[in-house]
Structure 1
Amino acid sequence: MNKVRFAIVGTGSITPTHAQAISAIPDAELVAIFGRSAAKAQELATQFNCDWYNDYQEMLKRTDIDVVSICTPNGLHADLGIQAALAGKHVVIEKPIDVTLEKADTLIKTCQKQGVELSIVFQRRYSDGVIALKNLLEQGKLGKVIFGGCYIKLYRSQEYYDSAAWRGTWDIDGGGVLMNQGIHYIDMLQYLAGSVAEVTGHCGTFGHTGIEVEDTASAAVTFQSGALGVIEGTTCAYPGLVSRVDIYGTEGCAVIENDVLTSVQLKSGYEYKVGSSTENAGVSSPDISFECHQRQFQEITTALKNNTEPPISGVEGRKALEVILAIYKSAFTGDSVLLPLADSLFLKDLAKTGGFKRK
């Protein structure tokens, strides 16, 4: 395999980021883009010098496509990924893997049965700050982790939710601030602090109308290690504030703000502090840097060329989804929820009751 050849599914705001990331890798090539809108697909194909399709099955017939990267709304991920796997293509999915455990597990099993690889995009793991903190934790510099928290303080206008019929719906968006935006930080938290054992969650819809899902959420967390934690998220924090991950250990503490490792203070005497950028913090913007995506796509490309499993497999990428669903279940039932979850069938009842709307 000289070059790993990619096709992208979807023409939304994240598609150019995937296209730029793939195009920047010497041993990768973008060969096609599929979109339901022929005009958008053609426009992107012209921009990135590749072919375009508005017939998905026709594109999947091509023998010169090795990997299909799914960039559609959340609730379509598994279905489109399964079709790609059945066509013998490796599958990359922009977070989340999907919006239910059942659909995620079907995708994982299909890829395994077809002998193709599955990787979920959580590009924030590839930021310099997360890499540095992960190394410190693996070296034991912070001691035993006793607390981990993530705080997602974003602003999304009413116009954002009104911009597409699927936004803010259970079926397609799969949730609100936790599922759509906060999942990056929830993945980061469990990646750094360890697997989650139990959550007690609260969710509400306070600052937006016409949406089925939460725009504000909080959860108390217990990790499998026994450490405690907190997850907070909102899309009502005008005008958008700094999002943060805190890790406290027996030998010191570390803070990540907007993916930048801003503070490490250890009992050994080591101290590191740097300011984080607050420019456009927490604001929805199509101008997303593709650098971290490129790093993950490079690892995916290298793994496929070497016939090894790519980073952040389907099983690994499923973990953040399960944490979020556990928070939803806790908020819905009023009880603490233990992980692993047996299923996510409660979502049907949650949707029927009108979600988390508060007076």
Structure 2
Amino acid sequence: MSDSLNVAITGCGVIGRTHAVAIHEFPEASIVALVDVIPDAAEALADFIEKSGRPRPSVFTSLEDAFAATDIHLVALATPSGLHIRQGLEVLAAGKHVVIEKPLDVDLGRAQEIEAAAAEAARRGVVASVISQHRFDRSSVAVADAVATGRFGRLTSAIASVAWWRGQGYYDSGDWRGTWTMDGGGALMNQGVHTVDLLLWFMGRPVEIHAHTARLAHERIEVEDTAVATVTFENGGLAVLHATTAAYPGLTVRVQLMGSEGSAVVDNDQLQYFHSKDAGGDSADMGLQGGGNQADAELAKYPEEDYEAKDPTVYPAGHIRQYRDIFGAIAEGRQPGVKVSDAVNALATVRAVYVSATLNEAVLFDDVLAGKYNDLEVRTGGTRTESI
């Protein structure tokens, strides 16, 4: 491979633009191709790239045409979720590195197919990663490091909440939005999958999930706008998982992690609270009731953010941090920080929530992962049918 990393972006909508802005932060990478079945979308992104001072990429309507015409090393898939696996397999079969926007796919069985293909490709030095940019947030890294070194003692519980609002116009803006086939789910799958990934990164492997879902504030969609679940983990810890797009006007994403020797709260990507017994300070048998906050001291151990958005409509800081890891993995011949298997576990957890809500009973994570419920047609409970 040459010193320059030639990149193609497939899917030239809003997320495709985010990938383009992020990739342009790295002088070793050049976007040489844009692929979209809607040529106007690709041309619009090509215009945007050209106006930013970069060479104008070639435009194609298929990956096959792009591969035939252009030397491409890495493909970023920013297409609707239901297309990710087919396109990802096509990229890996061509021997190219691939970055897949979240979620990995809408179908767990297909996701496991690309998991196997990515493992095989890794043996040939091919990198496959899935966007999970919040793992690279400064606050998330601080909490994950504390977990890895045992500073919180035994992890006992967690609360993960995504409390957002999406108006009816959001779902009406695309025929694929809010469908099981292409969106794969609602608030949990589309908006909450990043938080599911963080919960698993902190707490470990799930064992059992018991959940309920409902559609309460939207119409003309098949999927849920509200989901709640309890999750039991291998380490014995318990968690509450919550995701909604029916929290007007939109609240924060919050992950609260609690252990026998420390706790942390990450709210909207900021380390709002951190306390570890090993850092010293006050302690009390009856607790500090939120006192003894060591967040500022903990964050001081990690570099400041090094990116400010130049375009107020695009917020690619998290993507930039993850691309730094991905480009490093390619250059160093190692695996990326987020592997396809990580995304499969997050997807299996979301699938377990939908299965549990459909059956109205607890389900085992390993049963879902093993395909026990592959033929089950999941549905949304608590459907609101009256006009809103």
TM-score, with normalisation over the residues of structure 2? 0.85
| TM superposition shift of 1:24 | 0.5
| TM superposition shift of 1:45 | 1.3
> Match for residue 279 of structure 1?
none
Tell me, yes or no, if structure 1 residue 150 matches structure 2 residue 157: no
Q: Deviations over 1:175-216 (max 9, x none)?
A: 000100000111011111212111100001111001100100
What CA distance in whole angstroms lies between the structure 2 residues aligned with 1:210 and 1:36? Answer: 25
Q: Which has the larger radius of gyration?
A: 2
Give SS of 2:208's match. strand
CA contact 2:115–2:344 (8 Å) conserved in 1: no
Q: Structure 2 counterpart of 1:82, which letter?
A: L
Give SS of 1:43's match. helix
| TM superposition shift of 1:310 | 1.9
Give SS of 1:271's match. coil
Percent identity of paired positions between Structure 1 and Structure 2: 36
Matches within 5 A, 1:55-204: 55-62=62-69, 64-114=71-121, 115=124, 116-204=126-214
Structure 1 runs of 4+ off > 4 angstroms? Answer: 344-348
Tell me, yes or no, if structure 1 residue 54 matches structure 2 residue 92: no
> Match for residue 243 of structure 1?
253
Tell me, yes or no, if structure 1 residue 271 matches structure 2 residue 293: yes
Tell me, yes or no, if structure 1 residue 320 matches structure 2 residue 350: no
> Match for residue 378 of structure 2?
350
| TM superposition shift of 1:137 | 1.9
CA contact 1:199–1:219 (8 Å) conserved in 2: yes
> Match for residue 213 of structure 1?
223
Tell me, yes or no, if structure 1 residue 32 matches structure 2 residue 39: no
2:355 to 329, 346, 357: 329
CA contact 1:108–1:118 (8 Å) conserved in 2: no
What CA distance in whole angstroms lies between the structure 2 residues aligned with 1:25 and 1:5? Answer: 12
Mean Cα displacement is larger for which, 323-332 or 39-48? 39-48
Change over 3 Å in CA distance of 1:101–1:121 after alignment to 2: same
Change over 3 Å in CA distance of 1:344–1:58 after alignment to 2: farther
Matches within 5 A, 1:5-20: 5-20=6-21
CA contact 1:143–1:251 (8 Å) conserved in 2: yes
1:290 to 316, 334, 341: 316
What CA distance in whole angstroms lies between the structure 2 residues aligned with 1:224 and 1:80? Answer: 34
What CA distance in whole angstroms lies between the structure 2 residues aligned with 1:136 and 1:113? Answer: 32
Number of residue pairs matched by the alignment = 346
1:259 to 251, 269, 281: 269
CA contact 1:35–1:54 (8 Å) conserved in 2: yes
Q: Structure 2 counterpart of 1:100, which letter?
A: D
Change over 3 Å in CA distance of 1:109–1:62 after alignment to 2: farther
1:224 to 230, 234, 246: 234
Change over 3 Å in CA distance of 1:350–1:139 after alignment to 2: closer
CA contact 1:216–1:233 (8 Å) conserved in 2: yes
1:306 to 332, 335, 354: 332
Q: Deviations over 1:303-334 (max 9, x none)?
A: 11222222211112211101000111100111
What CA distance in whole angstroms lies between the structure 1 residues aligned with 2:374 and 2:221? Answer: 19
| TM superposition shift of 1:128 | 1.0
| TM superposition shift of 1:357 | 4.4
| TM superposition shift of 1:46 | 2.3
Change over 3 Å in CA distance of 1:88–1:344 after alignment to 2: farther
Q: Structure 1 counterpart of 2:142, which letter?
A: A
Give SS of 1:312's match. coil
Q: Structure 1 counterpart of 2:208, which letter?
A: E
Q: Which runs of 5+ in 1 are unaligned?
A: 275-285
What CA distance in whole angstroms lies between the structure 2 residues aligned with 1:117 and 1:62? Answer: 22
What CA distance in whole angstroms lies between the structure 2 residues aligned with 1:104 and 1:322? Answer: 9
Q: Deviations over 1:81-129 (max 9, x none)?
A: 1111122211110011111111111122233445433110100111111
Mean Cα displacement is larger for which, 241-250 or 287-296? 287-296
Give SS of 2:294's match. strand
CA contact 1:213–1:356 (8 Å) conserved in 2: no
TM-score, with normalisation over the residues of structure 1? 0.92
CA contact 1:102–1:344 (8 Å) conserved in 2: no
Q: Which runs of 5+ in 2 are unaligned?
A: 50-55, 282-291, 297-311
